[in-house]
Structure 1
Amino acid sequence: MSQTLKELVKYKGTSFAPSNTRGALMNFFKVFTGLGLAILAKNFATTTFNRRYFDSKVVLITGGSKGLGFVMARELLKEGARVAICARERDELERAKRKLLQYGEEVLTLVCDVTDEAQVHDMVMDTVEYFGRLDILLNNAGIIQVGPMQAFSKKEYEKAMNVMYWGIANTTLEVIPHFKEQGGGQIVNITSVGGKVSMPHLLPYDASKFAAIGFSEGSAAELRKDGIYVTAIIPGLMRTGSFVNADFQKGNEKEFNLFRILANLPMATMSAEKAAHKILNAIKTKDAVKVIGPQARMLIELHHFFPNLMVKLFSLINKQIPTSGEKNIVKGENFEDASSRGARLESMGQKEKEQFQRF
């Protein structure tokens, strides 16, 4: 004890008297313990709430038969949700369902092209009829087109807009009456960092994602008064094995290999499981916008503060991206059989492809 404190303690009438000091310490200990217990109780309640957030909720996932959609369906089932998944191919849906039933008891499969309003109407009606309600719409359907802007016809640009903009708009407009009638609901739109920062050789994709984010943010503002929460999820690259189903410029094997490498580098991407967990946590917060992953956040911030510099940088990168001069588009799987690939390159993304695309 310091000399000054010893002198102060000598004065019985002060709060520094031994008895008062002991009492003050006891009171402090009680308050500190009480606060600690309160914090623990709050954290326990929050954790319990988060764990049970999806319990018995009905979630409709578009593009749910493979890739990120499949992983999100699996994780939702683990958390007690009842899940409906849609895709264009019946065989893919049934394969996904067999896998998903290992994690939950109720999985409804629906064949639907989200660009078709009539099919979207039937999909939503069938979901509500089967489960009795719909709590969360998770718009995940999408396509990827990789190549120089002139390699794509107007039809290809329209295809991207139809799937990734109108696909979201069609389903959103269809579920609004159901959500209003039942007193609320959630709409979650999986967009992309490409909807915030446009990059070369991804123009159809980027333009449609820009539109999707704009629609999502605007509808979030309009629908909140009705108890309908809309969230735009903005992830960066994820390791889902999607490169095999992406569209590429015919004859441009070099760009396919480059995309394959970038889409599977751990430092540049996020695993599908980690992305799914972050998306589920974002749904629980009901935030209007949620950027997923440090890579996406960094890219968005750099573009925000240095937009002209970023365009110049992308221009330099664009000069190094290979092109074949073709105007025809083929699936990435067409490059899978190319004999020029090395074993190391061939192994990149193989696990994700088998887990999430061709199980």
Structure 2
Amino acid sequence: MSPTSALERPRTALVAGGSRGLGLLVARELAGRGLRTTICARDPEEVERAVRQLRQDHGLELQGLVCDVADGAAVRQMVREVEREHGGIDVAIHVAGVIQAGPLTAVTEDLFREAIDIMVWGPIHLALAVLPGMRDRGFGRLGTVTSIGGVVSPPHLLPYATAKFGAVGFSQGLHADLAGTDVTATTIVPGLMRTGSDRHALFTGDPAKEYAWFSVAASLPLLSMDAERAARLMVDAVLGGRPMVILTPLAKVATRFAALAPSTTTRLLRLASRALPTGSGPGAVVEGSTARRRLGSVVVDRLTTLGTRAAQRFNEVNTREGDGRVEKRGRRD
């Protein structure tokens, strides 16, 4: 099937993790192209805000459901509900994720478990739930948003990178295993994007200092990509059935360099780790909006202006609780 005819066929879409940030933009892009789109996320109020925002600001009608992608039974039930409502799911994109930043000395087993549950089991649960229907109808498009952190493992993001490596392996293998069908799986490998996701990221060790380096990197134009453009390219790749798409120049350079010189890459990352905060032993896990307030840096606030604007536009600011205040240990609810 040609890319043109493939783009004409999909009629329904499901976006896991579509209530804010990149997921919200992917859902907006799909709905804007005429697909009947459903989004899901864990927080019911967040889902409600997302559906209302897309309706009021963009004139788009979407369905919003509450579902934890780490729960396989819940994902299967959600897929059955969407299939009953729309007669099938043509496109399913997994965007849900959690970012946890901190030195290894401060990272707990719970953080690894949470990352793997959401970013490895989540794509697995979604794919296994939608594939029977896609095979029966003879068409399907799967997309998994991974990360450059799933190709090159950066310091202070070890649970995140561990899970993203698993997601890359699953998605690439899935594409190969679907040979001979008109169902494809696209591995999406973005670098940093300006989504405002640092507000919901989790920080440990020295949360304020960890937030400072991460939020600046995720906001500066030379280091991060415009999220709306990224969402368009992702949707193009998934609908076109491409095996993989790598976004941002830095991600493309890092991927190629790591493939050519893996040992050198690891040594350079080890050096980079020395420039990051040392932190201490396991302690509180603090949400980014709280870490930002604790930091109280005018310089960081100015450097992250674009990220702040993105957070406000893409439903990353929690209007119910103010601009973040979560502090806890272990798994995020």
Instruction: Tell me if both proteins adopt one fold, taking TM over 0.5 as the criterion.
Output: yes
Distance verdict in 2 for CA 1:104–1:185, change over 3 Å: farther
Give the drift of 1:239.
Answer: 0.4
* Partner residue, 1:195: 150
Alignment gaps of 5+ in structure 2: 320-333
Give the drift of 1:138.
Answer: 0.4
CA distance in 1: counterparts of 2:150 and 2:191, whole angstroms: 10
CA distance in 2: counterparts of 1:227 and 1:346, whole angstroms: 43
* Partner residue, 1:31: none
Distance verdict in 2 for CA 1:209–1:339, change over 3 Å: closer
* Partner residue, 2:308: 350
* Residues 222-255 of structure 1, C-alpha deviations (whole Å, 9 max, x = no match): 1232321111011110000000101101543122
Percent of residue pairs bearing the same amino acid type: 36
Residue correspondence of structure 1 range 327-338 to structure 2 within 5 A: 327-328=282-283, 329-338=285-294
* Partner residue, 2:15: 61
The SS at the match of 2:178 is: helix
CA distance in 2: counterparts of 1:156 and 1:178, whole angstroms: 34
Asked if the contact 1:73–1:100 (Cα under 8 Å) also holds between the matched residues in 2, the reply is no
* Partner residue, 1:20: none
Give the drift of 1:287.
Answer: 1.4
* Residues 17-61 of structure 1, C-alpha deviations (whole Å, 9 max, x = no match): xxxxxxxxxxxxxxxxxxxxxxxxxxxx98xx48x9368611100
- The yes-or-no answer on 1:138 pairing with 2:138 is no
* Partner residue, 1:40: none
Distance verdict in 2 for CA 1:107–1:251, change over 3 Å: same
Asked if the contact 1:58–1:131 (Cα under 8 Å) also holds between the matched residues in 2, the reply is yes
Residue correspondence of structure 1 range 105-254 to structure 2 within 5 A: 105-254=60-209
Asked if the contact 2:26–2:231 (Cα under 8 Å) also holds between the matched residues in 1, the reply is yes
- The yes-or-no answer on 1:96 pairing with 2:54 is no
Give the drift of 1:344.
Answer: 2.1
* Partner residue, 2:38: 84
* Residues 85-132 of structure 1, C-alpha deviations (whole Å, 9 max, x = no match): 000011111110011124355311110000111110111011111111
CA distance in 1: counterparts of 2:55 and 2:62, whole angstroms: 7
The SS at the match of 1:59 is: strand
CA distance in 1: counterparts of 2:8 and 2:15, whole angstroms: 14
* Residues 204-237 of structure 1, C-alpha deviations (whole Å, 9 max, x = no match): 0111111111111111111232321111011110
Choose the corresponding residue for 2:26, options 72, 75, 79: 72
Q: RMSD across aligned C-alpha pairs, in angstroms?
A: 1.9
CA distance in 2: counterparts of 1:94 and 1:258, whole angstroms: 32
CA distance in 2: counterparts of 1:290 and 1:93, whole angstroms: 28
Which structure is larger by alpha-carbon Rg, 1 or 2? 1
CA distance in 2: counterparts of 1:309 and 1:294, whole angstroms: 20
Distance verdict in 2 for CA 1:130–1:149, change over 3 Å: same
Distance verdict in 2 for CA 1:190–1:72, change over 3 Å: same
The list of structure 1 runs, each at least 4 consecutive aligned residues, that deviate by more than 6 angstroms after superposition, is: none
Report the count of equivalent residues.
312
* Partner residue, 1:314: 269
The SS at the match of 2:231 is: helix
Asked if the contact 1:77–1:104 (Cα under 8 Å) also holds between the matched residues in 2, the reply is no
TM-score scaled by length of structure 2: 0.89
Higher RCO by CA contacts (8 Å cutoff, separation 6 or greater): 2
The SS at the match of 1:236 is: coil
CA distance in 2: counterparts of 1:182 and 1:92, whole angstroms: 33
TM-score scaled by length of structure 1: 0.83
* Partner residue, 1:278: 233
Asked if the contact 2:211–2:292 (Cα under 8 Å) also holds between the matched residues in 1, the reply is no
Choose the corresponding residue for 2:253, options 290, 295, 298: 298
Question: What letter matches 1:279 in structure 2?
Answer: M
* Residues 239-291 of structure 1, C-alpha deviations (whole Å, 9 max, x = no match): 00000101101543122111111011101110111101111221233111111
The SS at the match of 1:349 is: helix
Distance verdict in 2 for CA 1:346–1:188, change over 3 Å: closer
